[in-house]
Chain A
């Protein structure tokens, strides 16, 4: 089987062979490709990026991301929480906004520094 590693923009084409329970991955340029292939076959995971409302900053939305990839089928659950979140300026890039979002062992972090006006 072939798949494209989406972990980084390099987008390596991974070749995957199944040997009993073990996967043999080739074509990856770094070890993260192997982790990606294993996840993609057994439980696909995705990073989430979005924005939350912010009050008191120069712009209306603060960009956010999940600290780690979340199960693909939980993406819309996380989006629902994000949609209902409003924060106050100031916010620091990498600041945790929500701990353990949807009990997924994943935090929601800000990806931009926005000063208070």
Chain B
């Protein structure tokens, strides 16, 4: 069996940055496995700019950002094997993968970083009504077809879901000559970044229907019509509010789910809310020596945060390989109130950071950090929205004194 110090699964921003950090912290034999022909991950299809301001201090497109990471890796002895699909990982860290070049391989790793990214929720996942003609696909699939293969998937388009991929595709398809007739969002607010609402929809006068959903799709071979209805507070369609649109294409931008089937099969415990593994401040999962970062840990909207998380996981993997152990004490972190989730879910006393998102847009928020009903810190935020991930700095001495779970509560 092949032996490696560190195997990284996925060569997106998270995988590449974790490899670099592990290398900089003294790990010698590092192998990155990537199923696609090229390294770079989802960045390769995100041709818009808006990447890299924090990490590289310049505004880049997704492919340029990926290139920068790949160039850095290529200056090191880190090995990247592309066109290699990981099939399974065992608890004792044997990675089974298959590639056209090397066939089936088994690799014994001392440590593993999962950086497998996320997948899009599909039509099945949201139970879309109507017939099943051609012309319905996820926004990310349409993005890949257009930006890498050069195929415009439709001429008259309706987008369901106002996540960033949907918004960016609305602009992209408009610039390519398609007509985007509407973006419909089930919730009373958008899940996209405010800047994307402005530069992708407002700039082109594309209407955003909040509190609306698709109640029928008509068409035999190809989509011909879509019916939108307004929804009530319980998100149920209101009869009599139907609007009919003649379109040939429906794009779904209804959310991303961390890709963790391999990690789950290996026996790691996943979190019901993030759908990623439960981790400590080192990004270590419930399996010793297996780490996770990037979109497979939780869905990110900024690549710079993905990069930074990859660096933490890579550094932690290096520490683990060098037998640098954290404190014995482990504290659970519990999200309460308006918090959607908080990460990591477990902490060893150390100077570290917590990351969180709220469930819905809030104004004048108070964030309380407490332990055993004793408030440790209170923070104020003028506004919080679900599309922006926030962070809290944690000091080791607060945790040294904790004798129970750390509770973080957000109140409006």
Contacts and interface: CB of A to CB of B under 8 A. Distances in A.
A47 B148 contact: no
A9 B52 CA distance: 10
B50 A113 contact: no
A79 interface: yes
A75 B175 contact: yes
A63 B47 contact: yes
A49 B143 CA distance: 13
A63 B66 CA distance: 12
A93 to B, nearest CB: 5
B173 to A, nearest CB: 11
A5, A61, A64 interface centre (most CB from chain B within 10 Å): A61
A60 interface: yes
A65 B148 contact: no
B412 to A, nearest CB: 18
Interface stretch (A18-26, A51-59, A96-104): A51-59
B53 A8 contact: yes
A94 B60 CA distance: 10
Contacts of A8: 50, 53, 59
Contacts of A112: 44, 61, 63-64, 66-67
Size bin of chain A's contact surface: 20 to 34
Interface in A49-94: 49-51, 53, 58-61, 63-65, 72, 75-76, 79, 93-94
B40 to A, nearest CB: 9
A6 B47 contact: no
B194 A53 contact: no
Nearest to B302: A9
A59 B148 contact: yes
A49 B176 CA distance: 11
B63 A111 contact: yes
Contact of A51 (B37, B150, B199, B302): B150
B67 A51 contact: no
Given A60-B148, A60-B150, A61-B150, A11 B61 contact: no
A6 B195 contact: yes
Interface of A: 4-11, 13, 46-51, 53, 58-61, 63-65, 72, 75-76, 79, 93-94, 111-113
Interface of B: 37-38, 44, 47-50, 53, 59-64, 66-67, 146-150, 172, 175-176, 193-195, 198-199, 203, 301-302
- Cβ-closest 7 pairs across A and B: A112-B63, A111-B61, A63-B47, A6-B195, A11-B195, A111-B64, A61-B150
27 contacts: A4-B195, A6-B195, A6-B199, A7-B59, A8-B50, A9-B53, A9-B302, A11-B193, A46-B199, A47-B59, A48-B175, A49-B61, A50-B176, A51-B150, A58-B38, A60-B148, A61-B149, A61-B150, A64-B47, A76-B175, A79-B175, A93-B64, A93-B67, A111-B63, A112-B44, A112-B61, A112-B66
Given A63-B62, A111-B60, A112-B64, 8 more contacts: A4-B195, A11-B195, A47-B59, A48-B175, A61-B148, A93-B64, A111-B63, A112-B44
